[in-house]
């Protein structure tokens, strides 16, 4: 008799636990279904009332424990069913259940534009060398874009074929390069100056896969006492290795810019074929990525910086070109067309 009673109590505890789980996990989507739940569990003929009936056969020693368990279950069921009812009432629509306890849909995050990714990476590399960031206006004057940068008055870049002029030709124009920001910074700051200038530039060029009338550049400038060409080489080598990989080599080829003397073009070893030769580097093993040189003393003097005391180097690179090399993009127009299929490919990047 004692054994039977014990078994009976064990079964009751199991039943209570099973009912509790059922009620907890019940899924309902209409008010009618909530009512069905109520009838099934807490009405006069419901499962919990039946438990109270079986309770009569529980031994006196176990009555306290089992009685408490049934009461807890009953309270739990009332609470759960009332909560569900309230939810339906608060939505004001008894046909359509909205489960307000459900986790929300995740927000779809946007993507960064590949030009921003490349720009931010370049800023962070030069940031590690102590370069600050400055910006200048896109609508400029002749002085900051050409004259102060030592362009001769008959230089072809001043021509309307290359430059967009606004109003009063030849005074107000869209900057054709970010070198203009060098002048703006040097006019208001005495050395030491160590900064980079990212920005948008404009040239009156036909749009094709390789060129656009709007593009982006990053300019760099370092002016102090005793700044040498060797300092420039080492700085640019550091940049190239940080950006293109630690085995990258650089090559400086003599060139000409009015605002630097001597001037050079910098190539990096092709990161795609590792210098072996491919169609991106046109089988040369090298990719041209920027112009650079020692700031011409005339430019320093134009900004009231003593060229006997100070020397400096400058460099400038096109962000589109570098992004095209990094991501294998064959047509510059992709950057400006905002085709979602193109932009989506940069989704996981920060």
- Give the interface with ligand DAH as residue ranges (CB under 6 A): 177, 179, 219, 257, 260, 291-293, 314-316
Phi-psi region of 245 (alpha: psi -120 to 50; beta: other; left: phi over 0): left
How near is the Cβ of 318 to ligand DAH at its closest, in Å? 8
Is the Cβ of residue 6 or residue 256 nearer to ligand DAH in the bound state?
256
Query: Of 90, 97, 104, 82, nearest to 35 (Cα)?
Result: 82
Is the Cβ of residue 136 or residue 316 nearer to ligand DAH in the bound state?
316
How near is the Cβ of 220 to ligand DAH at its closest, in Å? 7
Asked if the bond preceding 150 is cis, omega within 30° of 0, the reply is no
Which residues contact residue 256 at a Cβ distance below 8 angstroms, ignoring those fewer than 6 apart? 263
Is the Cβ of residue 202 or residue 315 nearer to ligand DAH in the bound state?
315
d(CA 180, CA 292) in angstroms, rounded, equals 15
Angle between helices 60-91 and 2-25 (to 10 degrees): 10
Is the Cβ of residue 222 or residue 244 nearer to ligand DAH in the bound state?
222
How near is the Cβ of 291 to ligand DAH at its closest, in Å? 3
Q: Which residues share a beta bridge with 264?
A: 254, 292
Q: Is 220 helix (H, G, I), strand (E, B) or coil?
A: strand
Is the Cβ of residue 84 or residue 314 nearer to ligand DAH in the bound state?
314
Structure tokens at 167: 């109003």
Q: Which residues share a beta bridge with 292?
A: 264, 315
Q: Is 11 helix (H, G, I), strand (E, B) or coil?
A: helix
Is the Cβ of residue 54 or residue 211 nearer to ligand DAH in the bound state?
211
How near is the Cβ of 259 to ligand DAH at its closest, in Å? 6
SS3 content of the chain, % helix, strand, coil (to 5): 45, 20, 35
How near is the Cβ of 199 to ligand DAH at its closest, in Å? 11
How near is the Cβ of 242 to ligand DAH at its closest, in Å? 19
Structure tokens at 54: 């079986």
How near is the Cβ of 246 to ligand DAH at its closest, in Å? 25
Structure tokens at 285: 């093993």
Is the Cβ of residue 19 or residue 193 nearer to ligand DAH in the bound state?
193
Q: Is 281 within 8 Å of 321 (Cβ atoms)?
A: no
């Amino acid at each position: 008799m004692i054994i039977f009673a014990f078994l009976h109590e064990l079964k009751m505890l199991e039943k209570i636990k099973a009912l509790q789980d059922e009620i907890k996990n019940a899924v309902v989507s209409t008010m009618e279904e909530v009512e069905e739940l109520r009838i099934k569990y807490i009405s006069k003929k419901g499962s919990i009332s039946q438990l109270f009936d079986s309770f009569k056969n529980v031994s006196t020693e176990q009555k306290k424990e089992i009685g408490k368990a049934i009461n807890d279950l009953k309270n739990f069921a009332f609470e759960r069913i009332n909560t569900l009812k309230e939810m339906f009432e608060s939505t004001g629509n008894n046909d359509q259940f909205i489960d307000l306890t459900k986790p929300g849909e995740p927000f779809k995050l946007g993507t960064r534009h590949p030009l921003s990714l490349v720009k931010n990476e370049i800023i962070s590399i030069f940031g590690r060398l102590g370069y600050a960031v400055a910006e200048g206006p896109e609508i400029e004057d002749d002085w900051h874009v050409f004259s102060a940068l030592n362009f001769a008055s008959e230089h072809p870049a001043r021509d309307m074929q290359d430059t967009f002029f606004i109003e009063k030709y030849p005074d107000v124009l869209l900057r054709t390069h970010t070198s203009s920001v060098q002048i703006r910074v040097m006019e208001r700051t005495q050395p030491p100056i160590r900064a980079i200038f990212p920005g948008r530039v404009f040239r009156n060029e036909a749009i094709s896969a390789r060129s656009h009338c709007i593009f982006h550049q990053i300019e760099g400038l370092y002016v102090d006492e005793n700044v040498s060409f060797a300092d420039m080489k080492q700085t640019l080598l550091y940049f190239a290795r940080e950006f293109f990989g630690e085995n990258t080599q650089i090559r400086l080829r003599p060139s000409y810019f009015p605002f630097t003397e001597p001037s050079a073009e910098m190539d990096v070893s092709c990161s795609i074929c590792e210098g072996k030769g491919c169609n991106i580097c046109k089988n040369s093993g090298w990719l041209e990525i920027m112009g650079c040189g020692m700031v011409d003393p005339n430019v320093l003097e134009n900004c009231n910086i003593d060229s006997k005391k100070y020397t400096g180097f400058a460099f400038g690179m096109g962000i589109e070109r570098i992004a095209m090399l990094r991501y294998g993009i064959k047509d510059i127009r992709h950057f400006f067309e905002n085709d979602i299929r193109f932009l989506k490919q940069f989704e996981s990047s920060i």
